[in-house]
Amino acid sequence: MLKILIISTFLSLFVAMFLIHFSHLHERFTLDHDLGGVQKFHALPVPRVGGLPLAAGLLAGCGVLAWSLDEGRALLFFWVGVPAFIAGLVEDMTKKVGPLPRLFATFAAAGLGYFVLGAGLHRVDIPFIDSFLVNVPLVSFLFTVIAVGGVAHAVNIIDGYNGLSGVVAVFIFLAMAYVAFKVQDVMLLGVCFAMIGALSGFLFWNFPRGLIFAGDGGAYLLGFMIAEVAVLLVGRHPQVSPWFPLLCVIYPVFETLYSIYRKKFLRGISPGMPDGLHLHMLVYKRLVRWMVGSKDAGHLTLRNSLTSPYLWALSCISVVPAMLFWRHTYVLMGFCLLFTVAYVSLYRMIIRFRTPRWLVLRRSTSSR
């Protein structure tokens, strides 16, 4: 496992370094020049093809797993995720692939995973639903495809600030690696280590300096791999509660569901329309008041990065109990409910300007 971690880390690190160093050769296609969009908070054009080092690290780690531990099926993890990764990468380079084609590409990848890896959801520990999932294969297939695609899309939703989605994904993979170790699933443990290594190499350049972004390709690959490992953990090991992976990913998933509700029912706009009211954006605008008003690129980049730790802490509220109570369905259900209450309460507190002072990070430009 250490070999997998080291090789995936260093390959991801060097591929990202190569892309950054030679960005002048591919900037026409890869740089994110849109600095004024409603969901744009970076100060300078940055390569948004961080999915390439993530994919390289994953492929290398799975290759080591297949070669050293005779787990040849590990390489299939990478190949079934290619449709989701490629759709996101094409959007990163052309800016012409909409959210629906990317989502359908992820559905296609989930379908491949269902048949090639046997990654299907057949239980949620709710008897009425479980009977449909077990007895009607089409229901299980559709449920799996929608769940996997939904998680991948949700991870893309929270990919807005330096280190945010990357570190949250590390937390999730660490929790799933722990459970894979407890149930002695070497293949899933190795895949988790490959992803942690790939993320570590990428994050070296992404946080806090923001020299490369994961982009849609990286975000969809991350989300897809999280979902596939989760589905296989539950499917291969009856002792693992299906509510364990749900609690692990509840931050990005509930962020997506709440955003759909907010846009559709509170604002009366299409859920696909971008806006500046996601929780991480509110944290940036109303809690991270560090050097507000400064136009210095260094200040803007650091303020961007200071946003992420707030959301890391929020993610830990769900990931830590998920890891502790991975076998106990009703306890996990309770923590899911507690998280939704905490999320909505925090959101309402920030949107109504009722945030406690100790949560607000302040430093004025006049204090320089």
DSSP per-residue letters across 216-263: HHHHHHHHHHHHHHHHHHHHH-TTS-THHHHHHTHHHHHHHHHHHHII
What residues are paired with 288 via a beta bridge?
A: 361
Decide: 228 and 81 in contact? Cβ < 8 Å. Answer: yes
Query: Cα–Cα distances in Å, from 135 out to 128, 154, 155?
Result: 11, 29, 31
Torsion of CA 167, 171, 176, 178, to 10 degrees: 130
Q: What is the DSSP string of 255-279?
A: HHHHHHHIIIIII-S-TTS--S-SH
The length of the chain in residues reads 368
Report how far residue 285's alpha carbon sits from residue 350's, in angstroms, rounded to the nearest whole number.
10
* Closest CA relative to residue 219, chosen from 272, 291, 151, 295: 151
Distance CA 157, CA 6 (A): 29
**Crossing angle for the helix pair 82-94 and 51-68, to the nearest 10 degrees:** 160
156 is in an annotated binding site: yes
| 281 close to 160: Cβ distance less than 8 angstroms | yes
Annotated binding site: 156, 216
Annotated binding site for Mg(2+): 156, 216
